[in-house]
C-alpha cells in the first residue's frame, strides 16, 4: 500500500492570505537568482545519478506572488538498491507550503537547512562525488529529505509546492525556474511540462521568454498563460519568463487580509513609472569601497573592477564621488575627506587607478566601511556607499555581528539631524557571505546584488547601478489615515529608484478602508 507523507499549509485560504504569509520573507527576494529544482543525490560516492522519468511544473502568479507546484518521478536504473538524499535549493525568500513523498510504509523526515548548514552539505557532496555542479547552490537555504532506499529498477515520486515574491524592475516582473538542474539526470527525461498562469491587477502588456519557445495565450488584459512541453530531453538552461505591466507615475496597490475577531494584515506596493526616469536625476554623493584582498583573486576581482568601471562611467556631471580600496589596510584615493566632483579629469584618473588594482592581502571590512562613513558626504541629499566584496573578513574585527553593529552605529552618528548614508552591496563569486552582506545593506537602507562566476556582468551591473544612479523620490514618508496600524516594516522608508518598487507591510486594527 502506498503511504503519502506530507507537510502542507491549510487549504482553502485565499491567494491574498498566501501573499501575507510571505511577510517575513518578501524583503529578501531581490538578491540571489532563483534556483529551486529538486535534486536526488545518491549517498554512495560511486553510485550513478538517478534518471528523471517526468518533471511537471504548474505555476500560478498573482500580484507578483508565484506559487510553484512540482511533480517529479526519479528512477533507479541500476540493478541494486540505492539510498539517496533529496535536496531542494529554495529561491531567496521562498516559503515551502507542501511536500509529499510517496513511499511504502516509511516515515518521512524533512529538514529545512539554513545557508551555512546547506553550504556544508553541498561541499561535502562535491568532495565525495567530485561533481562541482552543486556549488552553484551555495548561499541558499535548502530543504533536505532523507529518501529511503529505492529498489533496483524502482521509482520514487516527490511533490513540492512553494511560494515566492517575484522581482519587479521598471515595469517588468520576472519568474525563473531552473530547469538546468536536470543535468543531474542520468538519462534524457521522458516528459517535461511547465504551465504558467498569470493574473495581474495592472494590465499585462507583453509576456515573453528569452530562453525557451513557449506557447502563449492572453485571453484578456489582466490574464495570460504560457506553457512548455518537451519529450526525450535534457534541459540545459533555466526557464526565464518576463511579463510587462502598465504603469502610472506612481502606481500603488494595497492587499489586505483579516479573519473575524482578529487584527488584519496589509501589503502596500508602489512603484514610479519609467516616465519618471526621464526626469533629471537628483545629484548624489557616492563612495565606492572595493575589496582587493586575496580572497578576491581571479575572476572575482576582475568582475568587481569591471563593475566599478561601469559605475564610474554612469556618474552624472553634478555627482560627487570617492574610491576606497582595502585589503589588510585601507587606502582612500585622493587627499582629505571631501568628495570629488565627477569631472572628466577626476573620472579619468579614477579609472586608471582602478585598472592597476591587484588582489592580495587580508580583508579588513570593519575599518574600510568606517573610513567610508567618515568622509564628508552631503547628507542633505542622496548619499550612498557602494561596497564591492565577497564579504569574508579576515583581518582586524572579523566578527560579522560586531561589524554590522559598528557600521550601523557609525552611520547613525554621522547622520545627526541629516539623512544617513545608504549602503549598497555588490557581491562577487559563489562563496559570498550573503547573510552578512544582506544584513549590512538592509540595516543601512540599501540593497544587495550578486554576480556569479561566468555570469554576464554587464547586464547585472547595469541593472544594479541603474537603481543607485537615479534616485527618483527621496525622504519618503508613509501617512495612513483612518485606521490604526502597527508592526510596519520597514520602519524607515527607503529611497525610490528608477524601476524599483516600494513594499510596505504591517497590521491594522479596524475594518475601515486603508487610505495610503
Amino acid 6: pLDDT: 34
Exposure class string for 60-85: b at 16+ Cβ within 10 A, else e: bbbbbbbbbbbbbbbbbbbeeebebe
What confidence tens digit (pLDDT) does each residue in 347-403 have? 999 999 999 999 999 999 999 999 999 998 875 678 899 999 988 899 999 999 999
- CA angle, 205 as apex, 203 and 210 as ends, to 5°? 135
71: left (phi over 0), alpha (psi -120 to 50) or beta: beta
Question: Do 44 and 146 lie in a common domain?
Answer: yes
Three cell numbers at 428? 562577487
- Residue 326's domain comprises 284-473
The DSSP output letter for 416 is T
Question: Do 221 and 298 lie in a common domain?
Answer: no
**Measured distance CA(85)–CA(40) in Å, rounded:** 6
- Span 225-230, mean pLDDT? 94
> Does residue 237 fall inside a structural domain?
yes
Amino acid 347: pLDDT: 95
Give the chain's length: 516
Amino acid 113: pLDDT: 55
User: pLDDT grade, residue 141 (50/70/90)?
Assistant: low
- Span 146-162, mean pLDDT? 84
Three cell numbers at 192? 517535461
User: pLDDT grade, residue 26 (50/70/90)?
Assistant: very low
- Residue 257 near residue 265 (C-beta atoms within 8 A): yes
Element (H, E) at 266: strand 264-272
Q: What is the CATH number of the domain that holds 457?
A: 3.40.50.410
Amino acid 139: pLDDT: 45
The side-by-side arrangement of strands in the sheet containing 485-489 is 250-257, 264-272, 502-508, 485-489
Last residue of a domain, one of 193, 226, 245: 245
Question: Do 232 and 309 lie in a common domain?
Answer: no
Which one of 199-213, 391-405, 478-492 scores highest in mean pLDDT? 391-405
What is the rounded average pLDDT for all residues in the chain?
77
> Does residue 503 fall inside a structural domain?
no
**Measured distance CA(403)–CA(486) in Å, rounded:** 30
- CA angle, 29 as apex, 133 and 5 as ends, to 5°? 65
> Does residue 264 fall inside a structural domain?
no
* SS3 label, residue 226: strand
Amino acid 82: pLDDT: 84
Question: Do 77 and 160 lie in a common domain?
Answer: yes
Which DSSP string do the residues of 344-371 spell out, in sequence order?
A: HHHHHHHHHHHHT----S---HHHHHHH
> Does residue 156 fall inside a structural domain?
yes
- Whole-angstrom CA distances from 12 to 16, 258, 356 are 11, 15, 61
* pLDDT higher than threshold 50 for residue 137: no
Question: Do 240 and 342 lie in a common domain?
Answer: no
Question: Do 311 and 213 lie in a common domain?
Answer: no
Question: Do 214 and 359 lie in a common domain?
Answer: no
Nearest to 253 by CA among 13, 16, 45: 16
Question: Do 298 and 237 lie in a common domain?
Answer: no
Candidate from 31-40, 128-137, 266-275, 371-380 with smallest mean pLDDT: 128-137
Check residues 276 and 53 and name the one with the higher pLDDT: 53
Candidate from 144-148, 151-155, 266-270, 499-503 with smallest mean pLDDT: 144-148
Amino acid 115: pLDDT: 53
Entry pTM: 0.59
Q: What is the CATH number of the domain that holds 111?
A: 2.60.40.3680
261 Cα distance to chain centroid: 36
User: pLDDT grade, residue 30 (50/70/90)?
Assistant: very low
* pLDDT higher than threshold 90 for residue 325: yes
8 Cα distance to chain centroid: 24
Question: Do 296 and 166 lie in a common domain?
Answer: no
**Long-range contacts, stretch 221-224, CB < 8 angstroms, 24+ apart:** 223/197, 223/198, 223/199, 224/197, 224/198
* pLDDT higher than threshold 90 for residue 327: yes
- Span 113-128, mean pLDDT? 54
Question: Do 128 and 74 lie in a common domain?
Answer: yes
**Measured distance CA(58)–CA(68) in Å, rounded:** 6
Last residue of a domain, one of 437, 454, 473: 473
**Measured distance CA(238)–CA(242) in Å, rounded:** 13
Question: Do 296 and 352 lie in a common domain?
Answer: yes
**Measured distance CA(285)–CA(386) in Å, rounded:** 11
> Does residue 500 fall inside a structural domain?
no
Check residues 367 and 419 and name the one with the higher pLDDT: 367
Total domain count for the chain?
2
> Does residue 81 fall inside a structural domain?
yes
- CA angle, 336 as apex, 334 and 338 as ends, to 5°? 90
* pLDDT higher than threshold 60 for residue 448: yes
Question: Do 299 and 430 lie in a common domain?
Answer: yes
> Does residue 493 fall inside a structural domain?
no
> Does residue 27 fall inside a structural domain?
no
* pLDDT higher than threshold 50 for residue 131: no
What confidence tens digit (pLDDT) does each residue in 42-84 have? 777 777 888 888 999 999 999 888 999 999 898 989 898 887 8
Amino acid at each position: 500500500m502506498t503511504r503519502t507523507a506530507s507537510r502542507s499549509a491549510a487549504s482553502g485560504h485565499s491567494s491574498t492570505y498566501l501573499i501575507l504569509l510571505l511577510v517575513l520573507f518578501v524583503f529578501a527576494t531581490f538578491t540571489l537568482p532563483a534556483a529551486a529544482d529538486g535534486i536526488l543525490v545518491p549517498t554512495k560516492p560511486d553510485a550513478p545519478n538517478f534518471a528523471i522519468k517526468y518533471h511537471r511544473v504548474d505555476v500560478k502568479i498573482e500580484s507578483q506572488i508565484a506559487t510553484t507546484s512540482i511533480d517529479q518521478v526519479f528512477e533507479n536504473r541500476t540493478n541494486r538498491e540505492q539510498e539517496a538524499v533529496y535536496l531542494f535549493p529554495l529561491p531567496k525568500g521562498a516559503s515551502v507550503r507542501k511536500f509529499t513523498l510517496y513511499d511504502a510504509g516509511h516515515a518521512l523526515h524533512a529538514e529545512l537547512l539554513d545557508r551555512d548548514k546547506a553550504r556544508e552539505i553541498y561541499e561535502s557532496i562535491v568532495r565525495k562525488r567530485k561533481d562541482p555542479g552543486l556549488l552553484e547552490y551555495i548561499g541558499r537555504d535548502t530543504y533536505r529529505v532523507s529518501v529511503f532506499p529505492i529498489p533496483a529498477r524502482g521509482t520514487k515520486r516527490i511533490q513540492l509546492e512553494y511560494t515566492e515574491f517575484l522581482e519587479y524592475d521598471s515595469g517588468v516582473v520576472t519568474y525563473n525556474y531552473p530547469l538546468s538542474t536536470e543535468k543531474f539526470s542520468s538519462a534524457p527525461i521522458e516528459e517535461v511540462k511547465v504551465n504558467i498562469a498569470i493574473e495581474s491587477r495592472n494590465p499585462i502588456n507583453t509576456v515573453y521568454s528569452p530562453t525557451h519557445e513557449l506557447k502563449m495565450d492572453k485571453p484578456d488584459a489582466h490574464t495570460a498563460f504560457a506553457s512548455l512541453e518537451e519529450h526525450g530531453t535534457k534541459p540545459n538552461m533555466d526557464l526565464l519568463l518576463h511579463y510587462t505591466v502598465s504603469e502610472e507615475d506612481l502606481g500603488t496597490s494595497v492587499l489586505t487580509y483579516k479573519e473575524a475577531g482578529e487584527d488584519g494584515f496589509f501589503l502596500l506596493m508602489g512603484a514610479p513609472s519609467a516616465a519618471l526616469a526621464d526626469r533629471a536625476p537628483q545629484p548624489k554623493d557616492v563612495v565606492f569601497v572595493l575589496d582587493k584582498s586575496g580572497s578576491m583573486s581571479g575572476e572575482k576581482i576582475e568582475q568587481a573592477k569591471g563593475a566599478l568601471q561601469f559605475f564610474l562611467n554612469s556618474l552624472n556631471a553634478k555627482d560627487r564621488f570617492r574610491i576606497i580600496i582595502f585589503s589588510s589596510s585601507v587606502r582612500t584615493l585622493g587627499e582629505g575627506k571631501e568628495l570629488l566632483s565627477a569631472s572628466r579629469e577626476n573620472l579619468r584618473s579614477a579609472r586608471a587607478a582602478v585598472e592597476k588594482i591587484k588582489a592580495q592581502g587580508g580583508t579588513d571590512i570593519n575599518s574600510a566601511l568606517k573610513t567610508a562613513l567618515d568622509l564628508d558626504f552631503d547628507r542633505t541629499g542622496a548619499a550612498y556607499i557602494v561596497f564591492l566584496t565577497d564579504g569574508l573578513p579576515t583581518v582586524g574585527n572579523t566578527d560579522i555581528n560586531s561589524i554590522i553593529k559598528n557600521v550601523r552605529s557609525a552611520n547613525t552618528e554621522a547622520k545627526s539631524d541629516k539623512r544617513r548614508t545608504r549602503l549598497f552591496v555588490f557581491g562577487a563569486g559563489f562563496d559570498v557571505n550573503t547573510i552578512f552582506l544582506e544584513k549590512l545593506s538592509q540595516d543601512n537602507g540599501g540593497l544587495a546584488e550578486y554576480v556569479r562566476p561566468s555570469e554576464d556582468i554587464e547586464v547585472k551591473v547595469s541593472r544594479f547601478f541603474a537603481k543607485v544612479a537615479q534616485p527618483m523620490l527621496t525622504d519618503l514618508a508613509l501617512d495612513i489615515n483612518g485606521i490604526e496600524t502597527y508592526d510596519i516594516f520597514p520602519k524607515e522608508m527607503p529611497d525610490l529608484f528608477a524601476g524599483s518598487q516600494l513594499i510596505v507591510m504591517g497590521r491594522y486594527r479596524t475594518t475601515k478602508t486603508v487610505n495610503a
